[in-house]
Amino acid sequence: MAWRGCVMKWAKTEFIRSTNTTSRSSRLSPHNQQRCGFRREAKRSETKQGNVTQETKASPSEAGTPGPPPRPKVPRATLFKPLMFTVGFTGCSFGAAAILQYETLKSKVQSAKEEEKSENLSEGSQDMAYWHDWWNQLSGFQRQLILLMSLVDDFWGSLTEGQRTVTGIIAVNAVVLCCWRIPLMQRSMIKYFTSNPASKTKCLPMILSSFSHYSIFHMATNMYVLWTFSSGIVSLLGKEQFLAVYMSAGVISTMVSYMCKTATGRLYPSLGASGAVMAVLAAVCAKVPEAKLGIIFLPMVTFTAGNALKALITIDAAGLMLGWRLFDHAAHLGGALFGIWYVAYGHKLIWRKREPFVKLWHDMRSLGGSRGGPGAGSAGPGPR
């Protein structure tokens, strides 16, 4: 029994050893190793993924600094209001020009009648004696001032009507140029004197930017071209009609620039009178294409106005298609096309049909004059 008990105890011990050996060998089997390895890799990946997630979530709070700010949303440009402003401003410009022409002709007729009534002059000897005594009573400073005013008056009289008309435009551009140099006015100048379809203020800058230049060279170039073609355009259209075309061209060219910027997504500010000046240049070149033009620094180089206009339009079209940003080529093209259209069709469609409007203004003036007192409603000249 003792032997049997020892044998049973030994067998039981060997069975336990064999069982442990089998379990160890089963753990080292290829199938179990692969499965265990997969489990380990899964656990590692989950651990790493969890660590990354935890680090990603915890990094902003641990660093204590906010993440990158979101990109600002660019406001979508809406062009309905600028379009309505363009149509309304163009109509008002030509209406005001027609009224201005009526009032100018009326004042000329009245001044001519007054001159006819005051033709009775005194004797020349008495007039000369009176002015001689008056001149002797003046001081030296007053005489110099009168001589200076006489020289200015002679210079002003030597200018053509077109040059006298654009002198006011040049003066306004010079004043705006000086305002750009005032630091306190920078924010207002950017808001109202630069045109940008992405800006909140779109309509008013459409006309104000046509009188705005930041660079002296930019303003000098535009004003020189305007001065050069002023005599020709005013002789073709007249002073009042020229002002209407110039103001309307500034707004229309800016509207074309708005449309191109919105279509391409390049929303950047622009300024300058180039669009309005291009309308004047294109109108003269289209009306008189055989005229000879030259370059100020190269007087020996001459070319016709028609060829110059074709070259400018080609350059601006190429700049618009290629995305050049040195100039606002869309505004240049808009002004040039408006100038060509106006001398070809616009003059007949707009200016020659102003008679009903001028007649309505004349009737309103006559009605207001008759209410004001007797003889106040004298009829003025009709439109030509």
Helix and strand element counts for the chain (H, E): 15, 2
Angle, alpha carbons 273-278-284 (nearest 5°):
135
Among 332, 362, 366, 378, the active-site one is 332
Q: How far apart are the first and last CA of the chain?
A: 150
CA nearest to 379, candidates 219, 368, 365: 365
**How distant, in Å, are the alpha carbons of 117, 167, 257, 307, 332 from that of 336?**
49, 22, 13, 14, 6
Which residue in 209, 213, 274, 362 is the catalytic one?
Answer: 274
DSSP 231-294: HHHHHHH-HHHHHHHHHHHHHHHHHHHHHHHHHHT----B--SHHHHHHHHHHHHHH-TT-EEE
Closest by alpha carbon to 312, among 260, 274, 361?
274
Beta bridge partners of 115: none
Active site annotation includes 274 = yes
Question: Where in the sequence numbering do the catalytic residues fall?
Answer: 274, 332
